Amino acid sequence: MRYAALGLLFAVPLAAADSCIECHSVLEGDLQAPVKAFANDIHARFGFSCTDCHGGNRNETDPEAAMSKARGFVGKIPRTAVPERCARCLSDTGFMEKYKPRQRVDQLAQYRTSMHGKRLAAGDTKVATCIDCHSVHDIREVKDPLSPVHPLRLPETCARCHADQAHMAGYKLPTDQFASYRKSVHWEALAKRGDLSAPSCASCHGNHGAQPPDVESVAAVCGNCHVMMEDLYKNSPHQPVFAAMGAAGCVVCHGNHEIRLPNAGMLAGPNAVCSQCHEATSAGGIAAAEMAHELNRLEKALARSDQILAKAQQSGMEVSEALLRQREGREDLVKAAVAVHAFQTTAVQKPVNEGLAIAAGTYQAGVAALKERSYRRLGLSVSLIAIAITMLGLRLAIRSIEGRSTGNSLRTWK
Amino acid sequence: MDEPRRNLVRWLLGGGLSASLISFLYPAFKFMNPPDVPEASVNEVSAGKVQDLKPNTGKIVKFGSLPVLLVRTTETEWRAFSAVCTHLNCTVQYKESSHQMWCACHNGLYNLNGQVVSGPPPHPLEAYSVHIRGDEVVISRRA
Amino acid sequence: MAAVTEPPQQAGWFEERLGLASLRAFLAHKTVPVHAQTLWYYFGGITLFLFVIQVLTGTLLLLYYRPSPAEAYESVQFIMTRVQFGWLIRSIHSWSANLMILTAFVHMFSVVFLRAFRRPRELTWLSGVVLLGLALAFGFSGYLLPWNTISYFATKVGTDMAAAVPLVGRNLARFLRGGSDVGGATLTRFFGFHVAVLPGITTILLLTHLALVQKHGMSSPPRVLEEHRRTGGAIPQMPFFPNFFLRELMAWYGALGVLGAMAAIFPWELGVKADPFAPAPAGIRPEWYFLAPFYTLKLIPSHVWIFEGELIGLLGFALLALWWVALPFWAVNSQGVERTRWVTGAGVALVGYLATFSALGYWR
């Protein structure tokens, strides 16, 4: 153990004397590329070298001896052997403790349960192995923004295969997930707002154990983040029905990859998702229309307040407090949208009414601000009239003085 | 100069001067009259009486226009944080069972130092100071 | 005792104590020349009037303003929203400040073009230029007081310039900021400058300026003097009181009307509270009267030969200011002949520079 730690200390200077790197760095093309890439590799940083994966002896200067099959040298590791090759170290708890004590070591076990792993075991070499996602010779930590599995880059990495129609031809899978995902709120949060906690592929499908979530587990997957919605949904009348239908909870209304920002139009109107099952005249259809009405009511009231406050603000009135209150009103609108998942009109009405009270208050503030504006203008005109009268009086006074004193102090001046 | 004209001038000048002076002095006097809301800013708010909040409970206090979460962790220890979740501005609450602050919108968890334990929040919650004056709990902004 | 003193008389009592008769006599004799350029004589008076308005509204604002980073913005917001007519008082204070600087500039350039700085009025000119500098300092220090984002960063940029002064720059910037960076200490300091230091100096200098104006009387432009000398008549005069004074009063009332209208129709904005840790917002720009030097410094490359560009700029401004202050002294040559063309040329060039660079600074 102690010697291993010492070895780690001297690993970097030793790597410089590595015969693999020495020879391959003066070669060309494919034979040189791995050496160049390896400089940025996390393994290089911890002192590992080519031979740790490829076998052979890096202290031999003779190529024959260095790449001797007898010493376990494998030039191109077969795809089917890649997971086990990585797992030799990465699934060894004792070994990993020396480098990354907090890292999980069950990647291989998980991989074997995944679609990728199962197909690879069946001899399908087109599926992803470790190196397809993590890259080969410049493997970086997940938190490194240049890593292909960094949250911001993961969707594109999965899409390399999953959006490639030729590659996916044999597998009854669609190839539009990436395009759909890029239209979703999740992509927007991730890529545009840079919110690394927003879900990308692995957040729902898992990473090493990648497979589509079961119908029953969809609500649980979404509920990981959308806690309130899951709670409400679980106790709602929809849950047993969807379960019995074999329909996947959230996905029924929101879709899977292309999850857009929901609006009241999902409840009622020509694009309503409710109308796919509920007749407009049925109890469910009426409830959906009512909830849509409630949401629209609050939305409209807030917009009306926004409008009058903007008008007041444009004419220089100070309405920042009312604008802050408007934020609370918007929060109530969010709460009301969450409450829709109880699928009860009364649940939606509570936050809507709170929001409406706020909107009424802010509207009044806007009205008051505009009233204040007219009051100011009235005051201004009164004082301007007084000023004008005074100026007129002054003018006349000057004329009367100067009319009197002509030829006295003012000689040639009229 | 004839008498009626002089009178007119006198009236205009006198009337105009006094009217305009009133229109200048009226706002000035009104300005000096202190408004009903005496405090200009919210640097501290009263969060009620000490006995109103049991140990290991929390409550939302309005601090100006923003919510603050006041937590009484033990008999004698009080903490306060901005209750606006740093993820999407929802209001966080105190979770008695785990002694954490929790945002219900996306399951963000903060510890009692305001730091993110798990979930989506990108930043810690801003801390406020808590003082006890007599039996009154006072929350103030940290300078 | 009672037997000795005369019974107090209504008119005599104050007269005895204040000696108003001499003042009345002085006013009766004071005259203002009347000619085609008489209009420009009003601008000094309007500037004075606006300064008085600044003192009055500023005093009112002191009732509610609090000079600390935690409270400054909130207290101004309080004035604007909660205090009755607070919006009016603050807006008038801001508008009047800008108008005052504008009329001060007009006053100064009218003095240049009418050649009113001539012997024996050199000291009047000197005190006037320093007063203009003080007005700019009032503007710079007052700008920070609401503690909003724009004023915060404008102050940062402005005090940064002081740091480029050779040798003492670093200490000067530290002195202005009350520390190494703009913060609460700067606000306290600027507040002190704005309400105590600058008003004190300004009052003394203003009284000097006015006393000098009274001592030397109004200057007549050389061209008008020349004309009358040719025709043989004296320049007509108008009594200061009441003729000129009533006209000045009209101008003041006009200015008041403009101020009231600006305040009511365009109340001064409050902006967003300053956040020292936020990145500087795009398009920071100082008040309009600092735009010309601001834009000039932007144009100068960062290094000119072996010197820092900013240093060159500051040095240039310092020399320019010195040369401008010394105007009455180089306006006559050693034979005592006036360099009329030089002065007019310099005046036109300066007006042109200020106008174009302010416009460029504003639009770019």
Q: What share of chain C is helix, strand, coil (3-state, %, to 5)?
A: 70, 5, 25
Q: Chain B residues contacting C, CB < 8 Å?
A: 20, 24, 27-28, 30-33, 35, 37, 39-43, 141, 143
What is the domain range of residue C190? 27-148+184-272
Name the residue among A197, C163, A340, A175 with its Cα closest to residue B86: A197
Same domain, A309 and A365: yes
Q: Which of C125, C139, C93 is nearest to C205 (CA)?
A: C125
Nearest residue in chain B measured CA to CA from A380: B23
Q: Give the distance from residue C78's alpha carbon to the nearest chain A alpha carbon, in angstroms.
A: 10
Domain that holds residue A220: 213-260
In a domain, A348, yes or no: yes
Find which of A394, A395, A404 to mutate to test the C interface (most C CBs within 10 Å of its CB).
Answer: A394
Give the whole-angstrom CA distance, residue C294 versus residue C361: 7
**Which among C71, C194, C64 has a CA at the least distance from the CA of C142?**
C194
Domain stops at, among C246, C272, C298: C272
Nearest Cα neighbor of C32 from C24, C42, C18 is C42
Give the pLDDT band (50/70/90) at residue B39: low
On whether residue C278 sits in a domain, the answer given is: no
Q: What is the pLDDT of residue C10?
A: 58
- Across the range C185-198, mean pLDDT stands at 95
Cα–Cα distance for residue pair B23/B25, rounded to 1 Å: 6
Report how far residue C266's alpha carbon sits from residue C99's, in angstroms, rounded to the nearest whole number.
Answer: 14
- Chain C nearest-CA residue for B142: C70
* pLDDT grade for A222, boundaries at 50, 70 and 90: confident
Find the range with the poorest average confidence among A294-308, A393-407, C70-84. Answer: A393-407
Q: Hey, of C31, C238, C273, which one would you mutate to test binding to chain A, going by the most A CBs within 10 A of its CB?
A: C238
Task: Kindly state whether residue C22 falls inside one of the protein's structural domains.
Answer: no
Pair (A242, A294) in one structural domain: no
> Does C242 lie in the same domain as C107?
yes
Per-residue pLDDT, averaged over A111-139, amounts to 91
Residues of C284-302 as b/e, b for ≥16 C-beta within 10 angstroms? ebbbbbbbbbbbbbeebee
Among B101, B129, B105, B128, smallest CA distance to B115 is for B101
Query: pLDDT tens digits, residue range A68-82?
Result: 888 888 888 888 989
Are residues A314 and A246 part of one domain?
no
Q: What is the pLDDT of residues A329-352, one digit of tens each?
A: 888 898 898 899 999 999 999 999
Query: Do A288 and A219 reside in the same domain of the chain?
Result: no
Cis check: omega of the bond before B38, within 30 degrees of 0: no
Query: Are residues C228 and C96 part of one domain?
Result: yes
C64 contacts chain B (CB < 8 A): yes
Could you tell me which residues come within 8 angstroms of residue C174 by beta carbon, excluding any fewer than 6 positions away? C180
CA separation for the pair B41, C75 (Å, rounded): 6
List chains touching B (3+ CB pairs under 8 A): A, C
In a domain, C99, yes or no: yes
Residues A348 and A294 placed together within one structural domain of the fold: yes
Structural tokens at position A363: 């509207």
Interface of A with B (CB under 8 A): 195-198, 224-228, 321, 324-325, 327, 331, 334, 338, 379, 382-383, 385-394, 396-397, 400, 403-404
Judgement on whether residues A300 and A366 belong to the same structural domain of the protein: yes
User: B121 CB near a chain A CB, below 8 Å?
Assistant: yes
How many structural domains comprise chain A?
Answer: 2
Q: Do A412 and C257 touch (CB under 8 A)?
A: no
On whether both C128 and C238 belong to a single domain, the answer is: yes
Given a contact cutoff of 8 angstroms between Cβ atoms, the answer to whether A63 and A71 are in contact is no
Please list every residue in chain A whose beta carbon sits closer than 8 Å to the beta carbon of residue C272: none
Residue A321: per-residue pLDDT: 78
pLDDT of residue C201: 97
Instruction: Please give the Cα distance from A96 to A104 (Å, whole number).
Output: 9
User: Per the structure, how many domains does chain C have?
Assistant: 2
CATH number where C260 lies:
1.20.810.10
**Most confident listed range (B7-21, C7-21, C134-148):** C134-148
Contact list, C242 vs chain A (CB under 8 Å): 397-398, 401
A241 and A288 fall within a common domain: no
Calculate the alpha carbon distances from B127 to A339, B103, B119, C231 in Å.
30, 16, 19, 83
Residue C320 belongs to a domain: yes
- Does residue A290 fall inside a structural domain? yes
Structural tokens at position A22: 């020495």
Laid out side by side, the sheet with B93-95 consists of B93-95, B100-103, B108-110, B116-118
Confidence bin at A404 (pLDDT 50/70/90): low
My answer on whether C97 and C216 are in the same domain is yes
Classify A381 as helix, strand or coil: helix
Q: What is the pLDDT of residues B102-135, one digit of tens each?
A: 987 777 899 999 998 887 788 899 999 998 888 8
Which is more confidently placed, C94 or A47?
C94
Maximum mean pLDDT: which of A95-109, A310-324, C246-260: C246-260
The residue among C272, C295, C325 that closes a domain is C272
Containing A107, the helix (H) or strand (E) segment is helix A107-113
Q: Which amino acid is at C361?
A: G
8 Å CB contact of C85 and B31:
yes
Between positions 72 and 91 of C, the ones with CB within 8 A of B are 74-75, 77-79, 82-86, 88-89
**Which of B75-89, C5-19, C95-109, C282-296 holds the top average pLDDT?**
C95-109
- Both C65 and C102 in one domain: the answer is yes
Same domain flag for C92 and C189? yes
Are C133 and C216 part of one and the same domain? yes
Which residues are bridge partners to C332 per DSSP?
C338
Q: Tell me the backbone φ, ψ of residue C338, rounded to 5 degrees.
A: -75, 140
- Report the alpha-carbon angle A374-C65-A326, nearest 5: 50
Peptide bond into C242 cis (omega under 30): yes
Across the A:B interface, residue pairs with CB atoms under 8 Å apart total: 83
Among the partner residues B6, B13, B105, nearest to A228 by beta-carbon distance: B105
Q: What is the pLDDT of residues C121-139, one digit of tens each?
A: 999 999 999 999 999 999 9
Q: Examine the domain organization and report whether C201 and C247 are in the same domain.
A: yes
Among A204-218, A249-263, B24-38, the range scoring the smallest mean pLDDT is A204-218
Judge whether C18 lies within some domain. no
Whether A254 and A292 share a structural domain: no
Q: How confident is the model at residue B42, as a pLDDT?
A: 62
